[in-house]
Structure 1
Amino acid sequence: MLKQFLNLKLSQKLSPQQIQLMKLIQLPTQAFEQRLLEEMNENPALESGKEEEEYEKDEFENDDYDDYNDSESIDADDINIDEYLSDDDTPDYKTQANNYSDDDESRESPLAAPISFHQDLINQLNTFILDDHEREIAEFLVGSIDDMGYIRRSIPDMVDDMAFTQGIYTDEYMVERMLHVIHELEPSGVGARDLQECLLLQLKHKTPTDAVELAADIIENQFDAFTKKHYDKLIQKYNISNEQLKKAIYEIEKLNPKPGGGFTGNQKITENVVPDFAIRIIDNELELTLNGRNAPSLHVSKDYQEMLQTYKDSRDKSGAQKEAVQFIKQKLDSAKWFIDAIKQRQETLFVTMNAIMHYQEEYFFDGDETKLKPMILKDIADIVGLDISTVSRVANSKYVETPYGTKLIKEFFSEAMKNDQGEDVSTLEIKKILQNIIEEENKKKPLPDDQLAELLKEKGYPIARRTVAKYREQLDIPVARMRKKI
């Protein structure tokens, strides 16, 4: 049975403008520039640069523009839109000139044409004497190599794949034989099916020495003991000295576990970090600046304002021009809002970073990470009077240039823990001390997590062993057994 009833309730909703503003605040400098470019391409009423002197009056306080913010419907007439959007000057093609003679030498700057990793391997295959069937199999194997240089598929799977997708009928013996050809290509180790085979292939390509031969034997026959760093077992197994094992391990450490990753032809885009802020120490005072690329000079188009003024002065109206002027007004409104949003974005970024700078003032003066104070989003939100989500958007993807390097702002935030004096200390401070302890330990006998916890307790930081393990993993430091060295 259906029923109708009235229900009154209060709900909080964000307007489309507020949502767009939040998105603008979240954008780092480079993404903001791209967003600005998109807006200018979409809205012809938005122009960059400063207005001419005759239009120095703030475009947001234009009296003529305000007349169109009332609730009355907008009519249109007597505005020849083409008059404003066309160019009556001499066409460009009549002013162009060719000042070059037919005898002039054409000079063009050569552009690099990088060869891909897989194409380089195919080119190397051309130096081998192979029949058509063998070449088809070898090229299929090259196509199965991933960007790290490995073939992570079993031979039976590749035999079936060649038959079903390429119409190449072969057997496992032939694929295995062609795989040995692939293993002769450069860089050494390419085409390996696992790390053990990759390292072994590279060792077999090296000039034979006692250390290289011992290293190859260890990788081939004692790989598990080597990866677990059971060095005593290796010394006993091979009846060698500590120094001999150290030389063999040194040969292994020089190998490349990702032979394809270092290929110079791989044209991967490297993302450059553009600092959104800069902090400098001038006359023993901290000075904060916002990257100028976040504060572009924008104004509302003079031509579009004149078109609205012309409409105001006209008396005759027409339906077609009414639609045109409504479109113009919409673009002017959008341009005005976007300029306001950018100014609000600038203010939000600056006041938030300024609060962070003063909260962590001690750190920014000397760069000692142990002096970073515990700081959560709410601390900064309370200072600047903004919502926690807004502070999070500012900190999440922004960078600040400091005298000690470029830092991600969110790295300055950390939880608080009590030391043995009952004082709040940053978890970043504890992590830094833990890292220093591990760096100074005896690598022949690395400290397990329980001993690290004891040392931290002696320094005044009583934390549990499992917490030490968590911090160690966050610092990307392996367990004690994997830190062991001869």
Structure 2
Amino acid sequence: MLKQHLQFKLSQKLSPQQIQLMKLIQLPTQAFEQRIKQEIEENPALEGGKETAESDFDDDLDNSKDDFDDNDTIDAEDINVDDYLSDDEIPDYRTQSNNYSSDDEDKNVPYASGTSFTQHLLNQLNTYRLSEEEHDIAEFLVGSVDESGYIRRTLSDIMDDLAFTQNVFTTEDKIGSVLKTVQQLDPAGVGARNLKECLSIQLHRKEKTPDTELAIKIIDEAFDQFTKKHYQKLLQKFDITELQLRDAINEIEHLNPKPGGSYAGNNRIVEHVVPDFAIKIVDGVLDLTLNGRNAPELHVSREYSNMLKGYKEAKDKSKSQKDAVVFIKQKLDAAKWFIEAIKQRQQTLFVTMSAIMDYQKEYFLTGDERNLKPMILKDIADEINMDVSTVSRVANSKYVDTPYGTKLIKEFFSESMKNDQGEDVSTREIKKILETVIEEEDKKKPLTDETLAGILKDKGYPIARRTVAKYREQLDIPVARLRKKI
């Protein structure tokens, strides 16, 4: 049974302008510049650079805005566009020029069209004598190589795909034979199906020495014991000394576990981080500046403003001219809003970073991560009376240039824990101490998580063993057994 009823409720929704402002705040400097460029291209009423006679222009624009408020109605009889579009009578060929000066500058930066990793392998493949079937299989295998240089598929899967997609019917033995050819390509180790095979291929390519021959035996015959660092078992299995084992392991450690990553080619685009803020220490006082590229000079087009003003004063009117006025007013309003949004963005970024800098003053003065105070988004949001989401947008995508390097702002945020004196300390501080303790440990007898927890407790940080394990994993440090060296 269908029923109809009325319901009143309050709801809060963001206006399109507020949503756009949030998006602007989230953009880092480089993306922000692209956004400005896009807006200037799409809105002819917005212009870059500094406008002369700003006071007179702003007065005219404000008067025009008063005359054309959203609630005002515009009669077609009040508008005449002919006086302002008279340039249309000039033929196109009079406004075009085919002259190009050597001083003309192309602002677009072209990308280098380099050779891809796959094409690099295919070019090498053409130097081998292969039958038509073998060449098709080899090309398919090369196409299956991932960016790390591995073929992570079984031969049976490759055989099925060759039959269904390439109409090549072959056997696993044939594919395995061609795979050995692919594995002869450079860089060494490419085409391997797992880490063991990758290291073995590289070792077999090296000059034969007692160290490399022992390393080959370790990888081919005792890979599991090697990865688990069961050195005593390796010493017994191959009847060798610790010195011989150390030299062989040194050979293995100099191999590349990801051969595909070693191919640089000439088409790799290097991405540069542009700091959005800069913090300097001047006479013992912190000085914060916002990257000047975040404060572009923009102004509303005088030509469009004069058009809007002229339409009102014209005597002859038409319906089409009313549409022109509506269009121009929309563009002018959008341009003024965009300029205002940029100013709000600047203010929001500066206020937020200032609060973070003041909160972490001790760290920025010393550069010691152990001086980082516990700080969450809500701490800064409460300080500047803004929403947590706004602080998050600033922190997640912005960088700050400090005397100790360029840092991602979100790295300054961390949770708190209690020390043995009941004081709140940053988890970053505990991680830094944990990292230092592990760096200074005896690698022949690395410290277990239980021992590390005891050391931290002695230093005044009573945390559980499982918490030590969590922090160690976050620092990308392996367990004690895998840190062992001979």
Deviates more, 1:40-49 or 1:88-97: 88-97
Matched residue, 2:107: none
Deviates more, 1:153-162 or 1:346-355: 153-162
1:377 and 2:406 aligned: no
The alpha-carbon distance between structure 1 residues 463 and 137, as it changes in their structure 2 partners (threshold 3 A), is: same
**Aligned equivalents of 2:480, 2:60: Cα separation in 1:** 65
SS for the counterpart of 2:262 is coil
Matched residue, 1:119: 119
Instruction: Tell me if the contact between 1:446 and 1:484 (Cα under 8 Å) persists in the aligned partners.
Output: yes
**Aligned equivalents of 2:457, 2:91: Cα separation in 1:** 82
Matched residue, 2:224: 224
Instruction: Tell me if the contact between 2:189 and 2:202 (Cα under 8 Å) persists in the aligned partners.
Output: yes
Matched residue, 1:154: 154
Matched residue, 1:14: 14
Q: TM-score, normalised by structure 2?
A: 0.93
**Aligned equivalents of 2:190, 2:14: Cα separation in 1:** 55
Q: TM-score, normalised by structure 1?
A: 0.93
Matched residue, 2:258: 258
Matched residue, 1:397: 397
Instruction: Tell me if the contact between 1:376 and 1:415 (Cα under 8 Å) persists in the aligned partners.
Output: yes
**Aligned equivalents of 2:484, 2:89: Cα separation in 1:** 76
Matched residue, 1:79: 81
The alpha-carbon distance between structure 1 residues 253 and 82, as it changes in their structure 2 partners (threshold 3 A), is: same
Given residue 17 of structure 2, which amino acid in structure 1 is its aligned partner?
Answer: Q
**Aligned equivalents of 2:257, 2:402: Cα separation in 1:** 35
Tell me how far 1:264 sits from its aligned partner: 2.1
Instruction: Tell me if the contact between 2:60 and 2:305 (Cα under 8 Å) persists in the aligned partners.
Output: no
Which runs of structure 1 show a deviation greater than 4 angstroms over 4 or more consecutive aligned residues? 54-57, 84-90, 92-95, 110-113
The alpha-carbon distance between structure 1 residues 401 and 87, as it changes in their structure 2 partners (threshold 3 A), is: farther
SS for the counterpart of 2:260 is coil
**Aligned equivalents of 2:25, 2:118: Cα separation in 1:** 42
Instruction: Tell me if the contact between 2:187 and 2:262 (Cα under 8 Å) persists in the aligned partners.
Output: no
Given residue 475 of structure 1, which amino acid in structure 2 is its aligned partner?
Answer: L
Deviates more, 1:118-127 or 1:282-291: 118-127
1:406 and 2:406 aligned: yes
Given residue 382 of structure 1, which amino acid in structure 2 is its aligned partner?
Answer: D
Matched residue, 1:102: none
Given residue 190 of structure 1, which amino acid in structure 2 is its aligned partner?
Answer: V
Instruction: Tell me if the contact between 2:149 and 2:259 (Cα under 8 Å) persists in the aligned partners.
Output: yes
Deviates more, 1:24-33 or 1:213-222: 24-33
Gaps in structure 1 of 5+ consecutive residues? 100-109
Tell me how far 1:246 sits from its aligned partner: 0.3
Tell me how far 1:461 sits from its aligned partner: 0.4
The alpha-carbon distance between structure 1 residues 111 and 463, as it changes in their structure 2 partners (threshold 3 A), is: closer
Deviates more, 1:49-58 or 1:151-160: 49-58
Identical residues among aligned pairs (%): 64
Mapping 1:432-443, distance limit 5 Å: 432-443=432-443
Matched residue, 1:165: 165
**Aligned equivalents of 1:91, 1:223: Cα separation in 2:** 78
RMSD: 2.2
**Aligned equivalents of 1:158, 1:89: Cα separation in 2:** 61
Instruction: Tell me if the contact between 2:400 and 2:409 (Cα under 8 Å) persists in the aligned partners.
Output: yes
Instruction: Tell me if the contact between 1:48 and 1:298 (Cα under 8 Å) persists in the aligned partners.
Output: yes
Deviates more, 1:246-255 or 1:306-315: 306-315
Tell me how far 1:441 sits from its aligned partner: 0.6
The alpha-carbon distance between structure 1 residues 90 and 112, as it changes in their structure 2 partners (threshold 3 A), is: closer
Matched residue, 2:338: 338
CA offsets per residue over residues 128-177 of structure 1, 9 Å max, x none? 22222222222222222122111112222222222221122222222222
1:481 and 2:484 aligned: no
The alpha-carbon distance between structure 1 residues 90 and 201, as it changes in their structure 2 partners (threshold 3 A), is: closer
Instruction: Tell me if the contact between 1:443 and 1:485 (Cα under 8 Å) persists in the aligned partners.
Output: yes
SS for the counterpart of 2:6 is coil
Deviates more, 1:112-121 or 1:152-161: 112-121
Matched residue, 1:462: 462
**Aligned equivalents of 1:299, 1:307: Cα separation in 2:** 16
CA offsets per residue over residues 223-243 of structure 1, 9 Å max, x none? 000000001110111111111
CA offsets per residue over residues 398-427 of structure 1, 9 Å max, x none? 110000001111111111111111111111
Deviates more, 1:164-173 or 1:297-306: 164-173
Aligned residues: 476
Matched residue, 2:105: none
SS for the counterpart of 1:261 is helix
CA offsets per residue over residues 174-227 of structure 1, 9 Å max, x none? 222211111221111111111101100110111011110000000001000000
Instruction: Tell me if the contact between 2:112 and 2:267 (Cα under 8 Å) persists in the aligned partners.
Output: no
Matched residue, 1:276: 276
The alpha-carbon distance between structure 1 residues 93 and 323, as it changes in their structure 2 partners (threshold 3 A), is: closer
Tell me how far 1:247 sits from its aligned partner: 0.3
